[in-house]
Amino acid sequence: MSVRRFVGANSRDVMRQVREALGEDALIVANRRTEGGVEILAMADEAIDHFEPSPEPTPPETPVVSPAQDPMQAMSERLLQEMQDMRALLASNQSSNAASAPQQAAATGTVAQLRQLLWSVGFGNELADELLAGLPEPLKALSGDSEAPMQWLRQQLMERLCVLSDEASFFDQTGIVALVGPTGVGKTTTTAKLAARFVMRHGTRPVALVTTDSFRIGAHEQLRIYARLLDTPMYALDAEQPIDDLLGRLQGKQWVIIDTVGMSQRDQRVIEQIAHLQGGRSRVRLVLLLNAASQPETLEEVVLRYRQAARAAGAELDDCIITKQDEAGRLAPVLDIVMRHGMRVLFGSNGQQVPEDMAIAAPAALVDQALSTAMPQRERAQSADTPMEMPRWSRDVLGQGRRLSSLMARLRQRVTGFAELEAVWDLASLPSRVQGERLDALLAAYPAADTTLGMAWSARRNERGCDWAMPDIGLDSDGAWLALPWLQHRHAAGWQPRLAALSASSGVAVHLLPRFPEPDALVWLEAQHLTWVSQVAPSHRILFHHERQTIRQLFSDSVLTHHVGLRFRGQSVQLWTAYAEVEDASGCALLAWYGEVRDPESAKVVARRYWLTPARLGAEVLSLLVTQLQSDGLSALTRRAWQQLKEADSGDLNAEVRLLMASGMASVVGHLDVADDEGAQTLRGDLLNLSGTSRRRRDTGMLDALVYAFMARDAIRQMGSVSREGVA
């Protein structure tokens, strides 16, 4: 047997014997103290695999007395047997892993190789993630030298590149085309190239050239030379003149192309320039020129700013022409940007010759050129820390358009004011300087007549840790929250003027007040016979049986017997109440209320509240107390949404717009959270499923999903805004 016994006076002596007999790698199987010192069972490490346990004794037919086995030796044999089994299991797993390792390495290697290729030529991480997430499993398992994954990647890039189907779809349409973009991008040369191609198809008579560039020395003369060579008329238009001023001289011209003033994307005059182009009766088609040799960050900013300016003018800017392809070290960055922003590439320009050095955009040629040019090592190291990425609201959302459209339509139908909340979201895509003006116009027409029954007024102070106050939330005729709240600072100053103004303008008849109304406001409310409830502090004093005391003292010994269920701060709870008839200092008859919000399972008190209500309304006012309690969680939801929006935007979002977006989403979520009808349950489920996450609190889960839904809507609108006419 390979297990040996060693005995010594102490552990050091026995271990010396083990090392001398079995070496440094000996395995200690068991040890114990004996009367004579220490006993150890040990064996050589290599002997484990050849260990054979002692055979079990065969029971004799005739009982005999035999000595037991040594219990220490028996234990050591069991341990060694288990060790053998464990080694066999590990060996089996290793062989299994070794067999599957090539397949796993191939799958990881294929994805990694394609990702590395996309990154090295200049495509951004966002597009790479979207593409490689759809790589079929069979392609992942192929070896690194297979051409199939590369062919698949090339096809995916081509499908994402939106282009014209043919030149006729562009040149055979009558109208006015304006080329816009930064200085030096090649607008004048491209104007001549486009005009030359039109002349080749339709002759010189139907075309005219227009320039608005009165700033650059010789700009008019350069275009005039091209016009003379093409035998077409050329007109000069001041940058502030609408195109309608030329209509009289453009009679009979079917195709007019405008060479505009080059402006930096950061120049505030970009907005005015596009507004003037769109300000007349004639529709002007905008085409953005993108310099392929520009830095990716610059191209991204050009697209964002010019499209913002176009939206501010009520126009679309979805078409682009890629210029200076021959000067670009890499073509992938500009393709990445037009793919992510859903722009349509009309033509590509690669030289100064007119009209030879321009061709209709061909996905295969553009993708091949992009994939053939790797990023220099120095640029690769610099760009590793600053990858090109889409705005956060454009991530992982493009495949859910149909579900999203249905969800938004149902929310629009169910929640009063949801369409106006969408309109506020639309303002976020405009330049910051025009957001405030558009917001004023939007709020001037809100709410529509007879849509607002009541108002849950918020405390007149900033939220804790915030530089904004919670807006006031309206109630529709069913007592549900309206989607678009009211900003506090836009109300009249003072409670009585504030209440009177809203009641007169919107017909608000129910007021849920955060504090007891001042004397003039209370007199006005009672004179108008309006419905109101007021939350008060425990120390608020009232008269009970002509005795002055605090409302807390009034209910100090009360037994609460009546309760209703409700949703409070995202939880299902019970409100236990008691009330008593009291008077205020002026003798006005009131009902004083005390409520405890309790956990229905543990009966633990979650919150305590005190209210005063008009005695004339009786106990039926309890439903309004529940409604006011349910509004308690809206400020926390607003803070959560505010922070998410602040992290997601680029700093250009108007503070009022952001607050209305955040509080509006909180109102919608609060509306759905407290409703218990089948429609609300379906919408809750669809919202929570939209983000693909499960949360303990459904209100915060729905809020995150609604933020996601709005951001997804914006991304899909951006990607889908290109006219499908003439798209290959």
What's the rounded Cα separation, in Å, for the pair 555 and 33?
Answer: 74
Cβ–Cβ < 8 Å for 446, 474:
no
pLDDT at 237: 74
What's the rounded Cα separation, in Å, for the pair 533 and 506?
Answer: 19
Give ∠ CA 205-206-211 in degrees, rounded to 5.
100
At 153, is the secondary structure helix, strand, or coil? Answer: helix
What's the rounded Cα separation, in Å, for the pair 574 and 563?
Answer: 6
pLDDT at 301: 87
pLDDT at 693: 56
What's the rounded Cα separation, in Å, for the pair 261 and 216?
Answer: 8
At 91, is the secondary structure helix, strand, or coil? Answer: helix
- Residue 589 CB neighbours (<10 A): 12
Q: How many helices (H) and strands (E) in the chain?
A: 24, 22
DSSP string computed for 409-442? HHHHHHSTTHHHHHHHHHHTTS-HHHHHHHHHHH
pLDDT at 508: 92
Pairing of strands 284-291, 175-180: parallel
Count CA within 13 A, CB hemisphere, residue 640. Answer: 18
Q: Is 595 exposed, middle or buried (0-12, 13-18, 19+ CB in 10 A)?
A: buried
Measured between its terminal Cα atoms, the distance across the chain in Å is: 81
What's the rounded Cα separation, in Å, for the pair 318 and 304?
Answer: 11
The domain locations on the chain are 4-58+66-87, 107-160, 162-390
pLDDT at 49: 56
What's the rounded Cα separation, in Å, for the pair 11 and 699?
Answer: 65
Express each pLDDT in 438-459 by its tens digit. 999 999 888 877 789 999 999 9
- Which amino acid, one-letter code, is at 275? A
Cβ–Cβ < 8 Å for 484, 417:
yes
In Å, what is the CA distance from 667 to each residue of 228, 429, 484? Answer: 63, 22, 8
Express each pLDDT in 325-369 by its tens digit. 888 888 999 999 988 888 899 998 887 777 677 888 889 999 998
Flag residues of the chain having pLDDT under 50.
Answer: 1, 56-68, 101-107, 217, 375-399, 721-728
pLDDT at 55: 52
Cβ–Cβ < 8 Å for 474, 481:
yes
pTM over 0.75: no
Which H/E stretch holds residue 531?
strand 531-536
Distance of CA 641 to the CA centre of its chain: 11
Work out whether the CA dihedral 355, 356, 358, 362 comes out positive or negative: positive
**Both tokens assigned to 434:** 């025009």
- Residues contacting residue 377 through CB under 8 Å, at least 6 positions apart: none
What's the 3-state SS for 686-700? HHHHHHCCCCCCHHH
Pairing of strands 27-34, 37-43: antiparallel
Task: Answer whether the bond into residue 355 is a cis peptide, omega within 30°.
Answer: yes
pLDDT at 46: 63
pLDDT at 11: 80
What's the rounded Cα separation, in Å, for the pair 427 and 245?
Answer: 31
Which H/E stretch holds residue 564?
strand 562-568
DSSP string computed for 589-653? EEEEEEEEEE-TTT--EEEEEEEEEEGGGGGGGHHHHHHHHHGGGHHHHHHHHHHHHHHHS-S-S
pLDDT at 63: 39
At 58, is the secondary structure helix, strand, or coil? Answer: coil
At 500, is the secondary structure helix, strand, or coil? Answer: helix
What size, in residues, is the chain? 728
- Residues contacting residue 696 through CB under 8 Å, at least 6 positions apart: none
Q: Which candidate, 652, 635, 654, places its Cα nearest to that of 462?
A: 635
Q: Class assignment of domain 162-390?
A: alpha beta
- Residues contacting residue 710 through CB under 8 Å, at least 6 positions apart: 393, 425, 661, 665
What's the rounded Cα separation, in Å, for the pair 10 and 246?
Answer: 111
